[in-house]
Amino acid sequence: MTCEKLEKCPFYNDKMDINRGIGAMYKKTYCEGDKTKCARYIVATQLGPEYVTDKLYPNMNNVANKLLEENKK
């Protein structure tokens, strides 16, 4: 279930500061694996891409949940 947002995702396109080993693992797990578990994907689809910052990494579900709670529509 590859993520359809890969083309514009700064994380996937190495525009964010990531450790190569961990970054590669996150890409395989979230970007090329189960996108529905990616914090960036969750925030973008539920709140909008303007809520996804360059400080939000795919594994930061606790931050994503906090953003969702704070910005309920």
pLDDT tens digits, one per residue of 22-40: 888 899 999 999 999 999 9
Mean pLDDT of 39-60: 95
Question: How much of the chain is helix, strand and coil, in % rounded to 5?
Answer: 55, 0, 45
Q: Residues 6 or more apart from 52 whose CB is under 8 A from it? A: 40, 43, 44
Cα separation, 22 vs 13, in Å, equals 14
CA distances from 70 to 33, 61, 66 (A): 28, 14, 6
pLDDT for the residue 73: 63
Cα separation, 58 vs 38, in Å, equals 5
Record the pTM. Answer: 0.84
